[in-house]
């Protein structure tokens, strides 16, 4: 199979310990068939993206010339939840998160950007923020002074007290970046998070942003 060939070509040097796949970046153990299976699956999704065939009952919250945004809520049918879990696994792997448990899983709102090619090309996971959430955007653990400074500058541009919505994850399929997909996801979130009001950028906070996330958020919040 195609994926297998690619695997052999792209995978790093094989040994009994951990292997880092050079194309998808996943770390796995070749000696564990289970691990290797997980890698094949992840690798395929990383390269091809996650398919979305369409659901009978889908909540389309925005439509564009190049795709649409579908909202998934915690009590949605299991096929929708499973799709969200697949996407989240891909995203978390890419962000280097391991088994991150969402704060309020029953209040999570997941926005999926579906491309014309029927693939999930963007994902935004939002949660209501509690007071304690504010600490999350503060530097956690040992960090270099420069990254701390970044974090601080980042925080000043926000008013945590009035924040009501936390963006726990934002991700765009790597081949679809810089096409304003993330921007449209956040716009849609602001429109849909609380019924009847459009959230200001002060009301939303990005939790634990990556460098990409910071660049995007800074730009987004200033425009």
Stretch that binds ligand ACO, among 16-24, 54-62, 145-153, 163-171 (CB under 6 A): 163-171
Report in angstroms how near the CB of residue 66 gets to ligand ACO at its nearest.
12
Q: Which does 189 bind (CB under 5 to 8 A by kind): Zn ion, ligand ACO, none?
A: none
User: Does residue 103 bind ligand ACO (CB under 6 A)?
Assistant: no
**21 or 125: CB nearest Zn ion:** 21
Give me the least distance between CB of 185 and ligand ACO, in Å please: 8
Angle 88-104-98 from CA coordinates, rounded to 5°: 40
DSSP 145: H
Q: Does 24 bind ligand ACO (CB under 6 A)?
A: no
Does 172 sit near ligand ACO (CB under 6 A)?
yes
Measuring CA to CA, which residue among 4, 5, 35 is closest to residue 17?
35
Using alpha carbons, select from 119, 125, 203 the residue that is nearest to residue 161: 203
For ligand ACO, the closer of residues 7 and 168 by Cβ is 168
Residues 6 or more apart whose CB falls under 8 angstroms from that of 210 comprise: 95
Q: Using CA atoms, how far apart are residues 98 and 194, in angstroms rounded to an integer?
A: 30
Nearest residue (CB) to ligand ACO, 53 versus 135: 135
- Report if residue 189 touches ligand ACO, rule: CB under 6 A: no
Residue 167 touches which of Zn ion, ligand ACO, none (Cβ within 5-8 Å per kind): ligand ACO
Reduce the DSSP state of residue 121 to 3 states and report it.
Answer: strand
Does position 216 interact with ligand ACO (CB under 6 A)? The reply is yes
Quote the CA–CA distance of 74 and 108 in Å, as a whole number.
7
| Residue of closest CB approach to Zn ion | 21
Minimum CB–partner distance for residue 205 and ligand ACO (Å): 9
Measured distance CA(122)–CA(176) in Å, rounded:
8
Rounded to whole angstroms, the Cα distance separating 26 from 61 reads 33
Q: Give the C-alpha separation, 155 to 221, whole Å.
A: 12
Q: Could you list the residues that contact Zn ion (CB under 5 A)?
A: 21, 24, 43
Q: Of 5, 1, 2, 48, whose CA–CA distance to 24 is shortest?
A: 48
Residues in contact with ligand ACO by CB under 6 A are 95, 167, 169-172, 177-183, 206-207, 209-210, 212-213, 215-216, 219-220
């Amino acid at each position: 199979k195609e994926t297998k060939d690619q695997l052999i070509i792209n995978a790093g040097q094989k040994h009994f310990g951990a292997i880092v796949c050079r194309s998808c970046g996943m770390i796995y153990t070749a000696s564990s068939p289970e691990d290797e299976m997980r890698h094949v699956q992840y690798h395929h999704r990383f390269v091809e993206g996650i398919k979305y065939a369409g659901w009978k009952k889908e909540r389309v919250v925005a439509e564009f010339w190049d795709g649409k945004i579908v909202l998934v809520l915690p009590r949605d049918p299991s096929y929708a939840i499973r799709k969200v879990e697949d996407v989240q696994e891909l995203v978390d792997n890419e962000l280097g998160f391991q088994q991150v448990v969402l704060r309020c899983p029953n209040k999570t709102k997941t926005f999926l950007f579906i491309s014309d090619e029927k693939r999930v090309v963007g994902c935004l996971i939002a949660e209501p923020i509690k007071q304690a959430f504010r600490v999350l955007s503060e530097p956690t653990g040992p960090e270099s002074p420069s990254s701390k400074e970044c974090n601080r500058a980042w925080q000043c541009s926000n008013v945590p007290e009035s924040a009501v919505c936390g963006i726990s994850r934002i991700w765009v399929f790597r081949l679809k970046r810089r096409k304003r997909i993330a921007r449209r996801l956040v716009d849609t979130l602001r429109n849909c998070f609380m019924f009847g009001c459009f959230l200001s950028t002060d009301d939303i906070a990005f939790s634990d942003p990556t460098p990409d996330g910071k660049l995007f958020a800074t730009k987004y919040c200033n425009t």
